[in-house]
Amino acid sequence: MTFQKYCWYITSILFIVLSLRLAAKTERVLTLDDGKAHYILEIMKHITWPNEDQLTHFNIALLGQDKNLLNALNNKVSRIIRGKSILITQLSHLNKTDHGFEIIFVNRNKLSLIADINKKQGNTLIISDGKTNNKNLMVGLFVAGKTITLTVNRENLMKRGFKISDQLLDFAGTKADLKEQLKDRKSALNKVLSDAKTQEEQLLKLTKALTKNKRELQQIQTDLVKQNSLLVDAQTQRNKLKNSEQSIKLELTHKKNELLKQQILITEKEEETKKQQQKLQQLNLAIEQNENRLSQQINKLKQQSEIIERKEEKISGQRKFLYLSIAVTFVILLLSFLVLRISYLRKQVNIELAHLNEQLYEHATTDDMTKLFNRRHFLELAQRELKQLQRTKSMGAVLMIDIDHFKKINDNHGHAAGDHALIKVANVLKSNLRDYDIVGRVGGEEFAMFLPNCQIDIATQIAERIRKEMADLAILFQQVPIKLTISIGVTAKLADESSIDNMLYRADKALYQAKNSGRNAVVLL
């Protein structure tokens, strides 16, 4: 080996060694404090505070002097959890005035203070750096060598009103914790079902009561018609009696006038008899005849007077009947008012019942967040439409849509941002629907579309248009842009297809092929 080759060989070795040392210096080595900071932020993602809706940001207190952990957390506080920023405070000790912390990280040399902190800080999550007794433990980080172990006391967290995700319990909890979590959810679901059944029974009772009231109202209306007819007859009879009374009074007046005239004539006759005594004999016969006539007229007057007395008694009875008719009329008017009032109340109850039925139907068929059909109602409608297509020998297609990397959206921006993304996807799907197409949310971030009377090439074009529209859509959540893409699996109705489940199975396989091919794609199967 010549001297020049030897020098070149030594120089190359030195250059490689220096390059490796420089690369080692520039590469930052992760420490246990970085791991603790990571675990603290992951705990915040998977635990929900009881008063979280009232918080504008999360306050973290580090109890104990730990500059390395403080620096590690400061390197990560730019992250936003569920739309809230993070503020960090380091305390050497905890004063009585130190309140308002959502998390207190207790250093291992301050673990004896946990029991006192538990009593004074009601809504504060306490993370202990090391082992502590199970009575005071909420969340603990235990370092063994270069390994960090996370432990969770679900019972203590639930007593304080905290909610824990299944992922955190699966990672750091026990099987008993997961079992209790599932038992609590099952109990809550059973309570909701029981309340729904109670409301259904109440609605049934109310419907029966309304039916009974309707029958009673019809009977009252029939009685009112009869009473009204009787009242009309009474009024007609009363008018007749009034007319009869007036005619009787006129006749009585006429008879009195005649009687007065006859009395005047008698007086004149008596005077004439006194003056004409000479003509008495000649006029006796005439006088006797006149007396007979007068006697007959007097008898007639007596009979007429008796008739008048009887008619007056009859008029008195008719007055009593009139008073009774007025009382019956008042009672009928009162009953009419009550019937109208009952009718008004019945209408109000019917309106409320119809509103409750609409709400129950919407809850049973619609996804609350996206306002699309839920999985069960989508399958019912699609199966019904598929049978119609089978009878008419028409074409149809199914699209299965899934949001790409949806978990990253929840992890990086919070679950509220994930909900916002689901609503945006639902709006795009609804804007591309025909009047007779069916769309529903069939899973967490999965959607399905059933396109009746649609050729497979048209269905593929619709899927590609939806995919491109989602890829080009600019989504902002709390002034933070979110990039969102979707993958779509497409399948066509076979000639003898009769089950929507088979079409969904093929569309789901096509969706998995789109995922495996790099996402943001449409695959036909």
Residue 463 lies in a domain: yes
pTM over 0.75: no
Other C-beta atoms within 10 Å of 83: how many?
17
pLDDT at 103 over 70: yes
- pLDDT band at 29, cuts 50/70/90? low
Quote the pLDDT of residue 468.
Answer: 94
Residue 194 lies in a domain: no
Retrieve residue 408's tokens. Answer: 């990253």
What is the domain-level CATH number for residue 380? 3.30.70.270
Which residue has 């009673």 as its token pair?
A: 216
Quote the pLDDT of residue 231.
Answer: 78
Q: At 282, which amino acid appears? A: Q
pLDDT at 44 over 50: yes
Domain's final residue, options 334, 363, 392: 363
Instruction: Give the whole-number percent of the chain exceeding pLDDT 90.
Output: 20
Residue-wise pLDDT for 248-295, tens only, equals 788 878 888 887 888 888 788 778 778 877 776 776 777 677 777 777
The half-sphere exposure of 318 on its side-chain side, counting CA atoms within 13 A, is 18
Poorest-pLDDT segment among 249-253, 434-438, 509-513: 249-253
Q: At 359, which amino acid appears? A: Q
Residue 195 lies in a domain: no
Helix or strand or coil: residue 305? helix
- pLDDT band at 18, cuts 50/70/90? low
**Cβ 89 vs Cβ 60: under 8 Å:** yes
How many angstroms separate the Cα of 438 from the Cα of each of 434, 452, 508?
9, 9, 17
pLDDT at 481 over 80: yes
What phi and psi values does residue 475 have, to the nearest 5 degrees? Answer: -105, 125
* Three-state secondary structure readout of 262-301: HHHHHHHHHHHHHHCHHHHHHHHHHHHHHHHHHHHHHHHH
Domain that holds residue 73: 32-173
Retrieve residue 365's tokens. Answer: 């068929």
**Cβ 525 vs Cβ 510: under 8 Å:** yes
Beta bridge mates, 154: none
Quote the pLDDT of residue 174.
Answer: 65
Can you spell out the DSSP letters for 77-131? TTS-BTTBEEEEEEESS--TT----SEEEE-GGGGGGHHHHHHH-TT-EEEEES-
Q: Same structural domain for residues 215 and 359?
A: yes
* Beta strands, E only, 198-252: none
Q: Same structural domain for residues 334 and 389?
A: no
Domain's final residue, options 363, 398, 415: 363
Q: Same structural domain for residues 349 and 210?
A: yes
Alpha helices in 366-404 (DSSP H): 375-392
What is the domain-level CATH number for residue 99? 3.40.50
pLDDT at 16 over 60: no
Q: Same structural domain for residues 164 and 88?
A: yes
How many angstroms separate the Cα of 511 from the Cα of each of 315, 485, 487, 504?
99, 13, 7, 10
Residue 188 lies in a domain: no
pLDDT at 444 over 80: yes
**How many residues make up the chain in this entry?**
525
Q: Same structural domain for residues 399 and 509?
A: yes
Quote the pLDDT of residue 25.
Answer: 42
Radius of gyration of the CA atoms of the chain, in A: 51
Q: Same structural domain for residues 323 and 459?
A: no
Q: Same structural domain for residues 349 and 437?
A: no
Mean pLDDT (whole number) for 347-367: 69
Write the CB contacts of 501 (distance below 8 Å, at least 6 apart in sequence).
379
Residue 85 lies in a domain: yes
Residue 456 lies in a domain: yes
Retrieve residue 134's tokens. Answer: 């199970």
Quote the pLDDT of residue 32.
Answer: 79
Q: Same structural domain for residues 424 and 339?
A: no
Q: Same structural domain for residues 305 and 350?
A: yes
Q: Which of 483 and 24 is assigned the larger pLDDT?
A: 483
Residue 189 lies in a domain: no
Structurally, how many domains does the chain consist of?
A: 4
Which residue has 């099952």 as its token pair?
A: 186
Other C-beta atoms within 10 Å of 451: how many?
26
Domain's final residue, options 134, 151, 173: 173
**Cβ 495 vs Cβ 381: under 8 Å:** no
Quote the pLDDT of residue 425.
Answer: 93
- Convert 56-79 to b/e letters by CB count within 10 Å (16 or more is b): eebbbbbbbebeebbebbeeeeee
Residue 179 lies in a domain: no
pLDDT at 19 over 60: no
Q: At 187, which amino acid appears? A: S
Q: Same structural domain for residues 380 and 519?
A: yes
Whole-angstrom Cα distance, residue 216 to residue 197?
29
Q: Same structural domain for residues 249 and 324?
A: yes
Q: Same structural domain for residues 80 and 137?
A: yes
**Cβ 386 vs Cβ 497: under 8 Å:** yes
* Three-state secondary structure readout of 470-499: HHHCCEEECCEEECCCEEEEEEECCCCCCC
pLDDT at 1 over 90: no
Mean pLDDT (whole number) for 320-343: 81
